[in-house]
Amino acid sequence: MEIVHTDFLVIGTGVAGLRAALELARHGSVLVITKDQPAESNSAYAQGGVAVALAEDDDPQLHLQDTLRAGAGIVTPEAARILVEEGLERVRELVAWGARFDRDAGRVQFTREAAHSRNRVLHALGDATGWELVRALLEKVQGTANISVRTFCCALDLIVRNGRVCGCHFLTVDDVPTEFAVLARATLLATGGAGQAFAETTNPAVTTGDGIAMAARAGAALADLEFFQFHPTALAIGGEPRFLISEAVRGEGARLLNAQGERFTDELAARDLVARDIFREYRAGRGPVTLDLRHLNAQRVRSRFPHIAATCRRHGLRLTKDLIPVTPAAHYLMGGVATDFEGRTSLPGLYAAGEAAATGVHGANRLASNSMLEGLVFGARAGLAMQNDDNPPAAADKLAEWRLVLDVRDQQIPVELLRRRTWEAVGLAREADELRSFLSWLADWSRSSVEQANRPGIEARNLVDFTTAMARCALFREESRGAHFRRDFAAPHDERFLGHTLLDARGPRVVGLDAPLVRRPAR
């Protein structure tokens, strides 16, 4: 087995991973590994933009207030303060590195999305902000000494020695898969979210909860997994993947109509409210629900949302002439691997940032376009902390060959069935009996016995482990809050649940908002 040595290992090439790699490059060798091409990540597919208080009528305190309000009472205030204050410098830095945000007469354009009190969302290429940010960061990474990028390699499991993470096992994704191990002083999980756990999702195929599942198997604490944000408006074309229609479309004035042509919701309310309102219209037989842009300036709409308009055209729809069918879909995970404000997890040597991490910054419902800012701010913070990690190198001669073992009764975990059952049990509306039944079904698949070492098998295993943890958190939180809605506990219960859900070997429990989710590990 090949053994690769590096100072710092970064798993993932989204905004958080790339920004961390740039921070680390001044202090040692950095190896960045991704299971697909570098630009394939949730970051790259982000349309709406990046929220930052740079407009003349805005300030970080207003941004902080909006973030706290959107989080339904359980945002960690210090994490949110760090986000909105340090985000200013991170965005200015990105502009200096060549990110091309949209401008009007030379001035940067700001737009407004749901639950923002100001126009503070920067966008690029109209509705392709993520691609532009990832492009700028990748170009900077490719021109930076000490950083190497290795593509099409699946992460298998973390390497833990004497209670510390000292690297990770990987499998190449090619005709003849080959195992190799990377040993590092510090390892960062920047593996993104887990939208592929659901039958309805806006996420790309790579988002299978890999980092979160690996961290759980290694013994790291997780947090807030029940808070999965469902985007209200994904393009609903039968038999086609769900394509995100950005919230910025509603910010520009698009209306939501039911089958009777009636408006039934506040289009700029928080995402969880709008998504559940759409869900209720479908359940009441008043679907399909459509977006109506016919009253808007057609030229402005086409220039502001060129990618969305082009995608609609491919399906025979004209964005400014036709009613656009939409449905809620799994979009963004507020929880993840529990960290402190510097990306440290509960396992020494292991860090997490971006959507794979839970800092407490999003609470129960992420404020629109805060995710890109989170990746930049906490990716940089994780990079700074990793530089000072004194994790001793692992001995290569003590590494055992890694073997993937799965329960594959018919040679494959039924992933499509898993996704449908996740959507039904842990989707927009949840209740105890369905969650318990789902967990019982998952338990059969978590007892492994048969080898299947390839990317589909690895991802299936991770989806089982992730959905198990998510369902446990959803069952534990007997209330409705933000993106987590229980039919059997439809109101919030502050006395029991005004805090984060921490899941570790002791099971799920509520922790407070006045401290990081993870205490700084002793050296």
User: Residue 17 pLDDT more than 80?
Assistant: yes
Distance of alpha carbon 197 from alpha carbon 464, whole angstroms: 8
Which has the closest alpha carbon to 361: 477, 223, 226, 472? 223
Q: Is the bond leading into 325 cis (omega within 30 degrees of zero)?
A: no
Distance of alpha carbon 254 from alpha carbon 268, whole angstroms: 10
Which has the closest alpha carbon to 196: 328, 358, 330, 303? 330
Neighbours of 151 (CB within 10 A): 15
Q: Answer whether 32's CB lies under 8 Å from 13's CB.
A: yes
User: Residue 288 pLDDT more than 80?
Assistant: yes
The pLDDT tens digits of the residues spanning 266-285 come to 998 877 889 989 989 998 99
The pLDDT tens digits of the residues spanning 188-245 come to 999 999 999 999 999 989 999 999 999 999 999 999 999 999 999 999 998 888 888 9
3-state secondary structure 452-512: CCCHHHHHHHHHHHHHHHHHHHHHHCCCCECCECECCECCCCHHHHCCEEEEECCEEEEEC
pLDDT over 90, % of the chain: 71
> Binning pLDDT at 50, 70 and 90, where does residue 78 land?
very high
Q: Which of 117-131, 305-319, 407-421, 501-515 has the lowest mean pLDDT?
A: 407-421
pLDDT at 283: 87
Which has the closest alpha carbon to 28: 515, 386, 287? 386
pLDDT at 395: 62
Average pLDDT for 288-313: 93
Q: Hey, which residues are catalytic here?
A: 271
> Average pLDDT over the chain, rounded to whole?
90
User: Residue 414 pLDDT more than 80?
Assistant: yes
The pLDDT tens digits of the residues spanning 365-384 come to 999 889 999 999 999 999 99
pLDDT at 346: 97
> Binning pLDDT at 50, 70 and 90, where does residue 47 land?
low
Q: Which of 267-271, 295-299, 503-507 has the lowest mean pLDDT?
A: 267-271
Structure token pair of residue 95? 């502009």
Spell out the residues 6+ positions from residue 15 whose beta carbon is closer than 8 angstroms to its own.
43, 130, 133, 134, 137, 354, 372, 375, 376, 379
CA 252 to chain CA mean position, Å: 25
Structure token pair of residue 335? 């929880």
Q: Which of 305-314, 423-432, 488-497 has the lowest mean pLDDT?
A: 305-314
Distance of alpha carbon 147 from alpha carbon 25, whole angstroms: 6
pLDDT at 406: 46
pLDDT at 457: 86
pLDDT at 3: 93
Distance of alpha carbon 159 from alpha carbon 241, whole angstroms: 35
pLDDT at 273: 85
Full set of structural domains in the chain with CATH: 2-225+334-392 (3.50.50.60), 230-330 (3.90.700.10), 402-503 (1.20.58.100)
pLDDT over 70, % of the chain: 92
Quickly tell me which residue has 């510090």 as its tokens. 186
The pLDDT tens digits of the residues spanning 142-176 come to 999 999 999 999 999 999 998 999 999 999 987 77
Report H helices in 315-409: 370-387
Helix and strand numbers (H, E) in the chain are: 15, 24
The pLDDT tens digits of the residues spanning 332-357 come to 999 999 999 999 999 999 999 999 99
User: Residue 449 pLDDT more than 80?
Assistant: no
**Residue 262 vs residue 45, higher pLDDT:** 262
Q: What is the full DSSP assignment across 103-156?
A: EETTEEPEE--TT-SS--EE-STTT-HHHHHHHHHHHHHHTSTTEEEE-SEEEE
Average pLDDT for 90-116: 86
Neighbours of 519 (CB within 10 A): 10
pLDDT at 522: 47
> Binning pLDDT at 50, 70 and 90, where does residue 404 land?
low
User: Residue 312 pLDDT more than 70?
Assistant: yes
User: Residue 31 pLDDT more than 70?
Assistant: yes
E strand spans, 133-288: 147-150, 153-161, 164-172, 179-189, 222-223, 228-235, 243-244, 255-257
Indicate the pTM of the whole model. Answer: 0.92
